[in-house]
Amino acid sequence: MISRLAFLLLAGVLSINAQPQVSKVEPPNWWAAHTMNPVRLLISGSQLAGARVSSAQGLQVSNIKVSANGTYVFADVSIPADVPPGDFPLDLTTSSGTARVPFRIAPLLSGADNFRGFSTDDIVYLLMPDRFANGDPTNDDPAISRGLLDRNKPRFYHGGDFKGIIDHLPYLKSLGVTAIWMTPVYDNNNGLNEKEKYDGQPITDYHGYGATDYYAVEEHLGTLDQLRQLIAAAHKSGLKVIQDQVTNHVGPYHPWVVNPPTPTWFHGTESNHLNETWQIWNLADPNASPFLRRQVTDGWFINILPDLNQDDPEVHQYEIQNSLWWLGIAGFDAIRQDTWPYVQRTFWRDWMAAIKRQYPAVTAVGEVFDEDPALESYFQGGREHEGIDTGLDSVFDFPTYFKMQEAFGKGHALREVARMVGHDYLYPRPASLVTFFANHDTVRLMSEPGATVDGLKLAFTCLLTMRGIPTIYYGDEIALRGGSDPDNRRDFPGGWTGDSHNAFTESGRSPEESAVFEHVKKLTHLRSALPSLRSGEQVTLLADEQLWVYARRSGGETAIVVLNNDAKPIQAEVHLASLSLKDGTKLTGRLGVVANLVVNKGLAHVSVPARSGEVFVVSRQP
């Protein structure tokens, strides 16, 4: 009797254990009347072998595929265009029972308020949420990832969050920027990263580039609802928001690493994979062997970050849907795509096409970290290479960045910046290049040898008047210092209670901080006021060793920019005949450095103080 009872109890336990269990659904929701229909779900759990998925509420489920170990199910879900928003759970059934699969149809966000893209009318502000401002101390040290907060350690979390950004939107508006680019907000590892260390010590993924969940928000920054609040508040303030996405790889602690959804989900495995060479020039080189190219597109970054295989049809679909989901759920206006060259062009073509079908105004910029303009231009959309046009709107102008950093941070020849801009003929759309002189991966200009406040101000004059879409790295507008990563990611002074001073406020800034901030503010507002500085053609008028003069022209408006990077004043004669300005035309300096110029016999004689620049605008025609 006892043995029979034990047998029945054991059978009951086995029966319960054999019941299918669903732990996660990606994406957790979708939209009716979406251009991506059906949407393909990735259902995670256990005991899923032989699963069938069905809907009792009018959704059609098809193309079901179960992983060999019974932990993943793929299924297409077709959504009728007239289905109202709400909960539409699915049933996952095996021979051992049924599990509920949560799924929602979400309401569409307004296209008038979201998905607006960026253009030459914008000035982008790059910030790292964890290092900008702490608005909500309750998420500083969350229970799920306890012990990762320490402001004294440069690779630990410091407490910045979405609320801190919301609190300082007025500061960004006063500075004159029009778009915010945040580093990734994906959920990251909940413990220390023992695989990638700093000074021999384990670190955190505070920066956001080591995703462990593509459909969740990092708890140190806030919640998905708070992210949506931030974007809505930014839009209400007239600011766009750009999402930083990482499609090439995930973090080393993503659950997929030990249990991939398909055998070919990654390029290789943790113990057997190619190491990334970073030789992206092999992709454009017609003489490069297939193996050399594979090392670039298939290698694991720093030999640690698992490289996703977009040639796997399931990965291909998953990642396109994920990008669409973030746009649709949060209302982002544009995308900054990390490590662009390291993914096959065929994928990017399909990715861009899917985004443009649903959100025609959304724009994307790809990170191509290289100093060769010919190689940089290879990756911008608008031109076919190997029979493929990716359609990518823009790339970062790294070649010009390198020359700006050398000229304004080290005192090297300014003519090299002009020479690099002279390579614009290589690009399908040079005006849409995203320009900058520092970002989260580079030494800050004020920490370069020979850097001065005047040199920083001159760099801003160049950045905010030349062609392209300018990007300001947070803190550069107050002359923040910072060497190599992670020193270049210092906390913004005043973003934390108890900071020694508050550079977010006019009264809290030092004289040096105020001088740079006011200069940048003057430039951003001048750019906003003058269409020629935003979208006008660029005409180089003079390029000497340390003097660069160029015009920006749009319609009937002409602005002339004079930059002197020398340690002494420069006098020069500038030929203006190509601008068709009549003799006697008066040009007024708008930055207060040089009062005015007068055109005489097609020339203008200009005297510019050391390490300074001026923007002249026609104030009177004869």
pLDDT in tens, 317-342: 999 999 999 999 999 999 999 999 99
Pick the CATH number of 537-620 from 3.30.70.240, 3.40.30.10, 3.40.1350.10, 2.60.40.1180: 2.60.40.1180
The number of beta carbons lying within 10 Å of the beta carbon of residue 84 is 8
Of 28-37, 193-202, 249-258, least confident by mean pLDDT is: 193-202
pLDDT bin (cut points 50, 70, 90) of residue 13 is very low
Residue 137: the pLDDT is: 98
For residues 346, 350, 352, 358, the Cα torsion angle rounded to the nearest 10 degrees is 180
pLDDT at 619: 72
Q: How many CB atoms are located within 10 Å of the residue 500 CB?
A: 7
Q: Which helix (H) or strand (E) holds 564?
A: strand 557-564
Q: What is the pLDDT of residues 477-503, one digit of tens each?
A: 999 999 999 999 999 999 999 999 999
Residue 475 has pLDDT above 70, yes or no: yes
Q: Mean pLDDT over residues 516-543, rounded?
A: 98
- Provide the pLDDT for residue 229: 98
User: So what CATH class is 19-105?
Assistant: mainly beta
pLDDT value at position 556?
87
| pLDDT at 12 (0 to 100) | 45
What local confidence, expressed as pLDDT, does residue 455 receive?
98
Average pLDDT over residues 100-123: 97
pLDDT at 432 > cutoff 50: yes
User: pLDDT tens-digit profile of 531-569?
Assistant: 999 999 999 999 999 999 999 999 889 999 999 999 999
Provide the b/e sequence for 423-462 (b: ≥16 CB within 10 Å). Answer: bbebbebbbbbbbbbbbbebbbbbbbeebbbbbbbbbbbb
Strand ranges (DSSP E) for 405-456?
Answer: 434-435
pLDDT tens, residue by residue, 45-72: 999 999 999 999 999 999 999 999 999 9
At 479 the pLDDT is 98
Judge whether 598 and 585 are in contact, CB under 8 Å: yes
What is the pLDDT confidence band of residue 620, given thresholds at 50, 70 and 90? low
pLDDT above 50 for 593: yes
pLDDT for 1 beyond 60: no
End-to-end CA, the chain: 114
**Which homologous superfamily is 124-529 in?**
Glycosidases (3.20.20.80)
Output the average pLDDT for the chain.
96
Res. 529: pLDDT tops 90: yes
Q: Where are the domains of the chain?
A: 19-105, 124-529, 537-620
Query: What local confidence, expressed as pLDDT, does residue 618 receive?
Result: 87
CA distance 368 to 149: 32
Q: What three-state secondary structure class fits 207?
A: coil
CATH topology identical between 19-105 and 124-529:
no
